[in-house]
Amino acid sequence: MRKKVSIVGSGNVGATAAHWIASKELADVVLIDIIEGVPQGKGLDLLEAMPIEKRDSYVTGTNDYADTANSDIVVITAGIPRKPGMSRDDLLNTNYKIMADVVGKVVKYSPNCILIVVSNPLDAMAQAAYKLSGFPRERVIGMAGVLDSARFRAFIADELKVSVENVTAFVLGGHGDTMVPLSRYSTVAGIPITELIAPDRLAQLVQRTRDGGAEIVKYLKTGSAYYAPSAASTEMVEAILKDKKKILPCAAYLEGEYGIKGLYVGVPVKLGAKGIEQIIQIKLTADEQAALQKSADAVKELVGVIGV
């Protein structure tokens, strides 16, 4: 019996995640969207690519949540981007209503699934999904740190002209301007990057990581990043379905860890078949702890707007 992953939202992020998951033969994939025809068309197109890829993943598109029944994992990418003239609070409230609708239907058909939230603003939407679903915190995970760390790793590898496979990087905190890239814990083949990159240049790479999404939006002008965000979601899906016990930075609901209680914040977690199997607590300097707290405060402000 093959595993089943449903992806809510068949836009660029959702459809590309379906592509990565199917091409790695991780699971059968259901793409679901409110727009008629789009998930069906993209799903069929992907299904027709499988003989070329020599993969037996079955991909289908639908507008009916009944087709997502008994999913092992549901990846939620649904939501609207901020439009001109729209306040942040308007965006939050609109996406919260979408999340409430989506989570209600997902829980009805897949009460035992694990939720991976990709919708923005990421940390607040993960918190909304957690409260709305009634699931334990282990089964509601926000995708942010994997993406932010990948961006940091890409910039480090490019700077030092080394293989990306040699580079490990950690980024904590909320997904956005307040994220906390931890240079001290980032290495190249085990060597701390602080030994290899001058402090002023490292500060520039950290800032570029923080601005990673905005830099891509500036180039695209309409739309935002989707290859890396969908690949990041796929890495989480793979860690769970293969029970890899992989340590990845993810948005998790903290209950006192790192001195933070009752909020979704990006921290290193162990991902396995049960979802979050452990929250890894690492020692932070006073400055790093203050930066993480600032990030948590930014999330607290957002969840306050939607009352979760």
- C-alpha angle 285-287-291 in degrees, rounded to nearest 5: 115
Told to judge if 175 belongs to the known catalytic residues of this protein, a careful annotator would answer: yes
**CA 64 to mean position of chain CA atoms:** 24
Picking from 56, 132, 121, the residue whose alpha carbon sits closest to that of residue 90 is 121
Of the residues 175, 202, 210, 252, which is catalytic?
175
CA–CA gap between residue 308 and residue 306 (Å, rounded): 6
- Under DSSP, the state recorded for 224 is -
Identity of residue 248: L
Q: Provide the token pair at 226.
A: 């989707």
**Which CA distances in Å does 153 have to 44, 150, 212?**
34, 5, 12
* Pairing label, strands 28-32, 4-8: parallel
Q: Which residue has the tokens 């299904």?
A: 47
Residue 36, φ and ψ in degrees, nearest 5: -75, 135
- Active-site residue set: 175
